[in-house]
Structure formats: structure tokens, C-alpha cells
Structure 1
Amino acid sequence: MAASQTIALFDVGSTNLRATVGAPDGTFVTDVHRERTDLEGLPTQCCRLLEDLRTKPGVDGIDAVSIACAGLIDETTGVLAEIDTPDDDVVTDLRLGPTIENRFDLPVRLENDCTAAALAEWVYGAGRTADCVVHLTMGTGIGAGVVDRGHVVRGTAGHAAEVGLFPIGPPDRESSGIPGAWEAYCSGRGIAGFVADLLETESRETVLAGPEAVTARDVFDAVDRGDPVADDYLDRIARYNAAGLGTLVNAYNPDLVTVGGGVGATNFETILERTRPHIEEYALPAIPDIQPTRLGDEIGLYGALAPYASQGETAASRPIPTITD
């Protein structure tokens, strides 16, 4: 792609959708627009936003569309095969790529959001000096993307790096049918469920809400308030995080792990302070540098833009993974 071209960028999550227009040097041509995701009507929503982006000041035509999207995607067909809703339902077979291509006659690239985030770190973020980058997203669930020496790690069907399903805990809790899955204990949803189970079985004085109402945010807030029960629960969660991170290190041997997501980015220091002392118990290779992402909420947009990056100062003349990797 030529450096003069402009790319319409979308970052689609289960709850929120972000959109802007980007240039290959890593700059955004328009302000970032954010609105609630309409999963059932997602192809129509993206078409409406694309129409709007084409009329923004400073946009002199759009040459391609690139979408970073939560869920299971088929990058060859542009179909979003499966995505969870905020209510824990599932929406399937959303024809994002074909719908946009047919309406606007533009090439469309669809990428998993965690893989896109790893690409963002490799090209525009802290991964510019690393050999192997893992971006770990800790939010409602847990996921990861891996870029190893300029190559995206995808697996046979594009489902590599499903690290949230690493079985690191007791089989009492599960996620996507996997007993003991990391995200069943340490994601936003997992923390709430794990702590709710403990509250139901233990009779201890705590400021935490009852089992039916407790959230992950409540746990971190209670720790900040000095609640010993919440502190104990977070220590238990830290051991599961250590097992998850140790397994991640064993699987990919990265020299950099960046952390994002609503749970991971917001509570990074608290999580790492309690987790780091235990990671070596679970990892054979050297523990990599672990740091919060510096790309913020726009990491998905940067990830959608990364494959189109121009070689230069921003990309640090690094090999840019191609669309067919």
C-alpha cells in the first residue's frame, strides 16, 4: 500500500465500536468516533459509519477498510463467524466483509481484535524493539495475539493464542466448555463468578456485595479500601494469573508481553505486583518484560492500520506482516 492512501478503520467489540480514518504512518485523519455496537445489525452499522467517514474534513477518498473485531473471524471470507454479546448470548455468521465490499467496491480486511492488538504493538507500540510480542487482553474474557519476528501466529483455523482457555485452575469453573480455564478465574466475568462462589461458601465479614451482585470492579475497590477478605481473594486470583502467564511464557517464549483490556489495563500494577512473585514457579523460559500497553483504547484501531503501515520512522523500518500471513 502506498503511503498516500487512507484506510477506514473499525474496532468492533461486543459493547462498543470505534471508527476513524488512518494513514499508513500511524496518524488518524479524523477524530475517533465511538458508539454502542449493534451486533445484530453490525454490517449495516459499519456501512452507515463508513458513509459518514467518507464525508469528514480531511478525507479525500478511502482506499480500503480494515476491521479489528472481537470473536471468531474468517479472514479469508471476511465473515464474523461468532461473537459473544454482553448478555452472554452468541451472534453468528455476520457478513461484514462481503456486505461492505458489495456496497462500496472497496477491499475489506477483517482481523481478530487480539491479533490486531499484537500487530499494533509490533508496528506502533512497545514491540518495535522486540523479537516476539504477545499482547494480552484481560477484559470480560482473556485473549492474546502473537507476532513472532514479523509473522502473525494464527494456527490452522486462525484460533491460535486462545490463552484464556489455558486450563490453569480446578475444573469447578469453566469457559467455552474448558474446565479450569484461565478466564474462568481471572477475567472480568471470571473474577465476579469466582468471588461469588467463595462468598456463597464462606461466612466472613466483608464490604463486598452478595454473590448475586459482586463484580470484578467491586473486588479491586474493596482491596483499595483495605478489606482483608477481598485482599485474600485477589491473592488467590493472582496465583491463577501466575499460572496463566507462566503457561503463556512456556507456549510462546516472548521477550515482551503488553497488557490491555478493562481489567488488565485499569488494574495493571495491582495485578502484576501480586502475580509476578509466582510466575517463575510456572515458567521454564526467562520471564519477559511485562508492561501495560501505551496505545490505550485505540489499540484496536492501530492494529487494524498496522498491516498497511509505511516503512519509516513510525514503523522503525521493521518487517510489516502482510495481509496473507
Structure 2
Amino acid sequence: MADETIALFGIGSTNLRSALGSPGAGLRGDVHVERTRIDDLIEQVHGRLETLRERAGTIDAVSIACAGLIDGGTIREIDTPDNEVVREIPLGPAIEAESSLPVRIENDCTAGALAEWVYGRGRGHDSVVHLTMGTGIGAGVVDRGHVLRGAAGHAAEVGLLPIGPEERSSSGVPGAWEAYCSGRGIAGFVADLLADESRETALDPEGLTSRDVFEAAAAGDRVADDYLDRIGRYNAAGIGAVVNAYNPGLITVGGGVGEPNFEEIVERARPRLADYALPEVPPIRRTDLGDAIGLYGALAPHAMRSGVEATP
């Protein structure tokens, strides 16, 4: 129903966002942001749900977009900010039992693609890929209203596409795209280069972050600029592989690395994209849904089911 009230959650490794929404009207009221307590996630979500229920009076369902590997209502794996892995959190069944409400949980990258399809730049396109470039790299794919999930719900793990030398890896995959071009990957890759090369630069490998690299290049550091060019070559290979695999009509980009550095990332990759992509490279756009994309992605399936004209 278009006037349903849905409790929405966007759960990342670092932050947990929550809000109320309805399929036709989009988000209603303010978005609440707090640090994610992965070790106490069920109680954290339940507590926020009770607060939302007090505000709304009546809630019809709970919908969650969550980082990590999702199987039905269970979080099979989720990373902490310290790069540890927490496994087997039965979030959906637990919240259903405590609240007596139906609960839907979607992987955050898939939710991002759904958000673009219903509320964002993907409206009017037959096929949309949303790239989330943050601590890691992931994607969601929506084709003619259908979500690509795979046999176990792990389709579009594009960050594990092998596009670089095998010296660096992610999740055991040598040469993985995210080992070079995610937030964690950029920091590690550049730190390794600094250790191997003797070059004059303001970059300090100790405690280096991806933001440091982008800021140094913007300030005119030639070494940082050179390293971002190398990273741009890997991004061209990764984006080209996505184009070859899914032939999307649109690619949108978000995430803690992809959104703030969108122009820098795309412009460094663009001259080389034709070398890696067989189909025509589609438009590549920065998401306009911002940090709320997970909440919109959690709401999108309800809008699709109700068939209403969705409003961001």
C-alpha cells in the first residue's frame, strides 16, 4: 500500500541510519545517525525500532539495507571498521520475533541499485549498475525491474574481479579490484609503493588513508598524482569488466570513496575505458541520493510492489 509506514534502516560497518518512510512519499522526517554496534546489533536495531514506533504510532513493516553477506534474514558476514569479520547475526528473525512485524533485509549494494532504479538517476533506464566504492567495492544490478542476486545472493561482488597484479589480494582473491581501488586498497597500495620507491612526497605511509592521497594530489603533490593515475588504470579495468559483464544503460557511483572523489576517479579512468570495455560505455553518474541511499534502497521494494509513483 502506498500509505504504509515502513521503519527503514541503513546499516554500515561504521554508521547506522534509521528513518520512517512510505512507498509513495519517500523518507518522512529526519534521518537518525549513530555508530554501528555490530556486537550488539540486534538490540541496537530493536531499540531504534521502538523509538520509531513511538514517533509513528503504527508501523507496518521493517526494511533494512545492510553491508556484508546477507542470506535471507541472516547476516552471514559483516566487517568491522577494524577489519575484523563478525559472522552469523540472525537479525531478521530476531527483530520479527521481538516486534511481530515483517522484516526484509537486503545487501547494501543491491539496495543502492534499487534506490537508483526507483528514486534516483536510474529512473527511465532498462538496466542500472550501482557501484559502491568505500572501504571495499561492491555493486548492485537491476535489469528491467529484476535484481540480479545469484545462487546464494552473492552476485555482483565486483570488488573481487581480478584486474591487477597478484601481489595484492582481498578476501583471498589475488589481484582483486578492491585491493587497489577501495578506501582500504588505495591506502595499502600506496603505502606499499612508498616503501618500495624512494620519491620526494608529502605522503606518509604511517597511518595513510585514501583521503590523504586524494588531498595530496589536489595540493599538487606529483607523486600522489602519479599514484592516482595508476589507480585510475585499475579503475578503468574494473569498470570495463562491469560493462562487459552486465551491459548496463547507466552506472551510478556512491560510497565513502566514490562519491566525494567521483570526478577524480572517473576522469582518470575514462581515457582508458574503451581499452577494457567491449559494449559501449554507458553514462557514469554520481548518485544524487547521498548518504540516505541505503534507506531509499530499503524502501524501494515496497514502492515497486505497490506500483506507486515514487517520490524522493
- Scaled to the shorter chain, the TM-score interval is over 0.9
Q: Structure 1 residues 65-74 or 19-28, which shifts more?
A: 19-28
1:293 paired residue number = 287
1:7 paired residue number = 6
1:304 paired residue number = 298
Q: Is 1:313 aligned to 2:312, yes or no?
A: no
Q: Is 1:134 aligned to 2:129, yes or no?
A: yes
1:250-269 alpha-carbon deviations (Å, 9 max, x no partner): 00000100000011000001
Judge conservation of contact 1:26–1:302 (CA < 8 Å) in 2: no
Deviation at 1:286, TM superposition (A): 0.3
Q: Which runs of 5+ in 2 are unaligned?
A: none
2:31 paired residue number = 32
Q: Which runs of 5+ in 1 are unaligned?
A: 317-325
Distance in 1 (CA, whole Å) between partners of 2:162 and 2:43 is: 38
2:275 paired residue number = 281
2:219 paired residue number = 225
Secondary structure, aligned partner of 1:61 = coil
Distance in 2 (CA, whole Å) between partners of 1:27 and 1:67 is: 15
Q: Which amino acid aligns with 2:281?
A: I
Secondary structure, aligned partner of 2:164 = coil
Superposed counterparts of 1:238-253, under 5 Å: 238-253=232-247
Secondary structure, aligned partner of 1:11 = strand
Deviation at 1:25, TM superposition (A): 1.1
Superposed counterparts of 1:1-325, under 5 Å: 2-56=1-55, 59-75=56-72, 78-209=73-204, 211-309=205-303, 310-314=306-310
Deviation at 1:143, TM superposition (A): 0.2
Deviation at 1:30, TM superposition (A): 2.7
Secondary structure, aligned partner of 1:19 = strand
Deviation at 1:28, TM superposition (A): 1.8
RMSD across aligned positions (CA) = 1.1
Q: What is the TM-score with the length of structure 1 in the denominator?
A: 0.94
Deviation at 1:31, TM superposition (A): 1.0
Deviation at 1:88, TM superposition (A): 0.7
Q: What is the TM-score with the length of structure 2 in the denominator?
A: 0.98
Distance in 1 (CA, whole Å) between partners of 2:7 and 2:61 is: 6
1:77-119 alpha-carbon deviations (Å, 9 max, x no partner): x111110111011111111111111111100001000000000
Distance in 1 (CA, whole Å) between partners of 2:210 and 2:34 is: 24
Secondary structure, aligned partner of 1:31 = strand
Q: Which amino acid aligns with 1:60?
A: G
Judge conservation of contact 2:5–2:60 (CA < 8 Å) in 1: yes
Judge conservation of contact 1:265–1:292 (CA < 8 Å) in 2: yes
What percent identity do the matched residue pairs reach? 68
Deviation at 1:3, TM superposition (A): 1.1
Distance in 1 (CA, whole Å) between partners of 2:99 and 2:182 is: 38
Q: Which amino acid aligns with 2:148?
A: V
Secondary structure, aligned partner of 2:208 = coil
Write out the 4+ residue segments of structure 1 that deviate beyond 4 Å after TM superposition. none
Distance in 1 (CA, whole Å) between partners of 2:2 and 2:57 is: 14
Secondary structure, aligned partner of 1:288 = coil
Distance in 2 (CA, whole Å) between partners of 1:167 and 1:97 is: 33
Q: Which amino acid aligns with 2:22?
A: A
Judge conservation of contact 2:252–2:285 (CA < 8 Å) in 1: yes
Q: Which amino acid aligns with 1:7?
A: I
Deviation at 1:55, TM superposition (A): 1.2
Q: May I ask how many residue pairs the two structures share in their alignment?
A: 310
